[in-house]
Amino acid sequence: MKHPDGAYWLKTRRLTFALLFVWIVVTFGASWFARELNEFSLFGFPLGFYMGAQGVIFIYLLIIWFYNRQMRRLEREFGIDDE
């Protein structure tokens, strides 16, 4: 196990804050701009409605998947993976 100069935690924090920023933008952006998004349609539904009902949840799942993938890569890079 090696942690040169806290590089692992620095990269972990950067990833976490970047994904937190994406979460904030998606969550509040879909709410604040729902009327503007409703001018577009997706699968026959107004986009603002679709984002509130399913789209935001799908993006949350993508954030979780990406975080998991990146953390596994970081753990392999720093030799602290369990597998």
How do residues 38-71 score in pLDDT, each as one tens digit?
999 988 889 888 888 888 999 999 999 999 999 9
Collect all residues with Cβ–Cβ distance below 8 Å to 11 and sequence separation of at least 6. 74
Q: What is the pTM of this model?
A: 0.81
Q: What percent of the chain has pLDDT over 70?
A: 93
User: Is the separation of the CB atoms in 80 and 8 below 8 Å?
Assistant: yes
Length of the chain: 83
Token pair listed for 36: 């503007």
Maximum mean pLDDT: which of 31-35, 37-41, 69-73, 78-82: 69-73
Q: Is the pLDDT of residue 18 over 90?
A: yes
